[in-house]
Amino acid sequence: LSLVDQKKYGAAVAFAEAAVKAEPHSSTYLVNLGRLYLDLEMIEDALPVLERAVACRPSPFEASWALAAFFLKSGKAERSIDYFEKALATADGQAAAQIRFNYFDALSSLGRIGEAEKAASTLLDDPGSWVLATIRIASLRKHTVDSEIFQQLLQLQGIATLEPDTRARLFLEIGKTYDNSKAYDEAFRFFTKAKAERKWSGSNELFTGEINAQIRAFSPNVFNKYAEFGNPSDQ
């Protein structure tokens, strides 16, 4: 867990796997390992581990939450819904708020807008979540500058304690609303402000190395070699 906190996911895997080997029926250890596999995009490895976590007795809400997150991340949002609802039935505090935001993402990705609005609306009375909940509700529909929710978004700018990511989301929604209203200069101004909040902290050298490796790997020869695989449709 200390390695995960330092974002050293690769180094953490061996310890997470050792914990599960030592206690194979521990839902907590299984959840830790499954989430780690998800962080590393090891999708096929994550599913059986998280299914074992949910099958444990007693199974805490974290197991259902982790399996729901797996289905959402792997493009199977419909299958995530039941597990999110199962997790919400027993979760409380900040964990419940985080699950509800994930649940919101699943519902909105499925086009179930009314249900997504309802899920986020339950967080409007939560002191730690109401700002983000307001922004997420605004993101569901197309608004213009004369809408009530746009006025709410403008007022949120005055909160000095917003996290950079939340402030970026806020500026993005304000920009989209100006864009919908054909106030393009204002829209670009807020899009620029949103981008400025999301400063990249990575390494240019590492990023360049990754891109060069992809260029080497996905050569014309590779595409020619596997041209007959898959679906022939131009779509």
Q: Which is more confidently placed, 231 or 85? A: 85
> Contact, 44 vs 60, CB < 8 A?
no
Q: What is the rounded distance in angstroms from the CA atom of residue 131 to the CA atom of residue 123?
A: 9
Please provide the average confidence, as pLDDT, over all residues in the chain.
93
C-beta atoms surrounding 125 within 10 Å: 9
Tell how many helices (H) and how many strands (E) occur in the chain: 14, 0
For residues 204-232, average pLDDT? 90
DSSP string over 29-81: HHHHHHHHHHHTT-HHHHHHHHHHHHHSSS--HHHHHHHHHHHHHTT-HHHHH
Degrees, nearest 5: CA angle 139-145-146:
115
Q: Encode pLDDT of 171-209 as tens digits.
A: 999 999 999 999 999 999 999 999 999 887 778 898 999
Q: What is the rounded distance in angstroms from the CA atom of residue 140 to the CA atom of residue 144?
A: 13
For residues 126-150, average pLDDT? 95
Q: What is the rounded distance in angstroms from the CA atom of residue 170 to the CA atom of residue 136?
A: 9
- The residues near 173 (Cβ < 8 Å, ≥ 6 apart) are 135, 138, 139, 153
Q: What is the rounded distance in angstroms from the CA atom of residue 134 to the CA atom of residue 20?
A: 40
Q: What is the rounded distance in angstroms from the CA atom of residue 162 to the CA atom of residue 72?
A: 27
Query: CA 202 from chain center: how many Å?
Result: 19
pLDDT at 174: 97
Q: Which amino acid is at 74?
A: S
pLDDT tier at 7 (50, 70, 90 boundaries)?
confident
pLDDT at 217: 92
pLDDT at 234: 84
Q: Encode pLDDT of 29-75 as tens digits.
A: 999 999 999 999 898 899 999 999 999 877 789 999 999 999 999 99
- pTM for this model (two decimals): 0.78
Q: Encode pLDDT of 84-124 as tens digits.
A: 999 999 998 889 999 999 999 999 999 999 999 999 999 99
> Contact, 142 vs 150, CB < 8 A?
no
- Backbone CA torsion sign across 8, 11, 14, 18: negative
